[in-house]
């Protein structure tokens, strides 16, 4: 039976035998109605059957088409952890798709889509932190996502100690970052670029806050110094430096200058409030009394020692507080938190002198009269001779 015969069978043939035509008119009428009903059913069944057959064909083909289409949508991706080294920088404000395009461009991942899928699966698309990272060539996208964790940021770590002068700080920064000291010296001349407070009078000395810093490899000396100034500004805000200084009758710049002297003179944090009191007692003494701090004289000479010689005390410099009344024109070092707090919160006492009596322990003792001071100097000589 061919396809046509099949359809004829379903639809019913119009070529009935002649017996139907020989029946009477009534019989012919009944048979005609039955024939019309068969033809109506045939007209309904034919499209239904065609639809079922077509759906089966489309369904089978659709399944395999879907499989093919799905396979085509799977993005290219490498396997494994890759080889070599690629330095990638994520800039502030970059989206995950922009990072993905850069990774593909530099051969880290096989396709940007693979990285997008991997970072979405890890739920980290919104946590990409700006900075510089080390990755590898031809990595699996999921492995690349792991290495872009903030814990893997490439930084130049520099710990700047309290009390360093700028000249020494520049040398340390140069060693840690690979920049030349001269680059930092030049950058320090631009107060606007550094974000110095107005009361700093355009001078960085005293305002490069000592702390541990993480510098990006591509950071410029100006950016590094600006980061240190920002840290100072944060410390100043914490102690409300401007209003606190005003209450004490000093400018913020004078307080930072006093803090720098405290930092240079103190051997221990616990001695700082008393040293601060000595400074204020001398500044406010009647009759007038010179500050007479060896640390300021050593700053004028660009030297480091706890005691100046008689010859060194003759230097004609506004930093020579043995010759000139009042404070020097600016800070002599970069003070830390403890020194700034001591400058704002001096201890109570009548002391006018202090002497570091034991060079080994850095113990400082305090005196009110010249006789007491001489006794402390004698103790210092004994301890120095015995050492």
The structural domain count of the chain equals 4
Angstrom distances, CA of residue 330 to CA of 34, 169, 176, 272, 296: 118, 17, 27, 19, 10
Q: Which of 152, 170, 188 finishes a domain?
A: 152
Q: Which of 120, 152, 184 finishes a domain?
A: 152
- Quote the pLDDT of residue 218: 81
366 domain residue, yes or no: no
Asked if 328 and 299 touch (Cβ cutoff 8 Å), the reply is yes
Q: Considering the chain, what is the average pLDDT of its residues?
A: 86
211 domain residue, yes or no: yes
Distance CA 342, CA 239 (A): 11
- Quote the pLDDT of residue 12: 47
The reply to whether 275 and 343 lie within a common domain is: yes
DSSP state of 128: P
Buried b (16+ CB within 10 A) or exposed e, 327-348: bbebbbbbbbbbbbbbbbebbe
Asked if 330 and 196 touch (Cβ cutoff 8 Å), the reply is no
Q: What residue has token string 């009758």? A: 249
- Quote the pLDDT of residue 98: 94
The reply to whether 133 and 164 lie within a common domain is: no
CATH of residue 95's domain is: 3.30.1490.480
- Quote the pLDDT of residue 92: 78
Three-point CA angle 254, 255, 256, nearest 5°:
90
The reply to whether 126 and 194 lie within a common domain is: no
Q: Where are the beta strands (DSSP E) in the chain?
A: 83-90, 131-137, 156-159, 212-215, 353-358, 363-367
- Quote the pLDDT of residue 39: 55
The reply to whether 49 and 143 lie within a common domain is: no
343 domain residue, yes or no: yes
Of the candidates 91, 97, 85, 95, the one whose C-alpha atom is nearest the C-alpha of residue 139 is 85
- Quote the pLDDT of residue 306: 79
The reply to whether 93 and 121 lie within a common domain is: yes
Asked if 187 and 220 touch (Cβ cutoff 8 Å), the reply is yes
The reply to whether 178 and 254 lie within a common domain is: no
360 domain residue, yes or no: no
The reply to whether 248 and 331 lie within a common domain is: yes
371 domain residue, yes or no: no
The reply to whether 191 and 270 lie within a common domain is: no
The reply to whether 184 and 250 lie within a common domain is: no
- Enumerate the H helices of 178-218 as residue ranges: 181-187, 191-194
Q: Which of 19, 39, 73 finishes a domain?
A: 73
355 domain residue, yes or no: no
Q: Which domain holds residue 331?
A: 241-349
How confident is the model over 329-359, as pLDDT tens digits? 999 999 999 999 999 999 999 999 999 998 7
User: Residue 217 phi/psi, 5° resolution?
Assistant: -60, -30
Stretches where the chain sits below pLDDT 70 are 1-72, 386-387
The reply to whether 259 and 205 lie within a common domain is: no
The reply to whether 163 and 146 lie within a common domain is: no
How confident is the model over 95-134, as pLDDT tens digits? 999 999 999 999 999 999 999 999 999 988 777 888 889 9
């Amino acid at each position: 039976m061919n396809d046509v015969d099949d359809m004829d069978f379903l639809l019913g043939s119009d070529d009935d035998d002649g017996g139907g035509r020989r029946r009477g008119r009534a019989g012919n009428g009944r048979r005609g109605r039955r024939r019309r009903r068969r033809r109506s059913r045939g007209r309904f069944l034919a499209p239904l059957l065609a639809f079922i057959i077509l759906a089966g064909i489309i369904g089978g083909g659709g399944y395999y088409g879907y499989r093919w289409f799905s396979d085509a949508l799977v993005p290219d991706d490498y396997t494994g952890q890759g080889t070599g080294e690629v330095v990638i920088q994520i800039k502030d404000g970059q989206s995950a798709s922009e990072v993905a395009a850069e990774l593909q461009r530099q051969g880290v991942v096989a396709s940007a889509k693979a990285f997008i899928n991997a970072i979405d699966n890890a739920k980290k698309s919104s946590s990409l932190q700006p900075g510089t990272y080390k990755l590898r060539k031809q990595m699996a996208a999921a492995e690349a996502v792991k290495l872009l964790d903030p814990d893997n940021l490439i930084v130049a770590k520099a710990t700047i100690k309290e009390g360093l002068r700028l000249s020494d700080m520049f040398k340390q920064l140069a060693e840690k970052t690979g920049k030349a000291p001269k680059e930092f010296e030049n950058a320090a001349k631009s107060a606007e670029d550094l974000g110095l407070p107005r009361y700093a009078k355009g001078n960085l000395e005293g305002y490069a806050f000592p702390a541990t810093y993480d510098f990006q490899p591509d950071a410029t000396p100006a950016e590094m110094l600006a980061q240190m100034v920002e840290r100072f500004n944060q410390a100043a805000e914490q102690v409300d430096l401007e209003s606190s200084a005003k209450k004490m009758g000093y400018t913020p710049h004078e307080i930072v200058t006093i803090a720098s002297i405290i930092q240079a003179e103190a051997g221990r944090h616990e001695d700082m409030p008393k040293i601060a009191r000595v400074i204020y007692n001398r500044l406010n003494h009647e009759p007038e009394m010179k500050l007479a701090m060896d640390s300021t004289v050593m700053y004028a000479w660009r030297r480091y020692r706890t005691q100046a010689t008689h010859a060194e005390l003759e230097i004609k410099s506004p930093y020579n507080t043995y010759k000139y009344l009042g404070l020097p024109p600016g800070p002599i070092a970069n003070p830390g938190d403890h020194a700034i707090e001591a400058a704002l919160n001096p201890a109570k006492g009548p002391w006018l002198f202090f002497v570091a009596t034991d060079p080994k322990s850095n113990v400082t003792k305090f005196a009110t009269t010249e006789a007491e001071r001489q006794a402390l100097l004698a103790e210092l000589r004994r301890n120095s001779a015995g050492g």
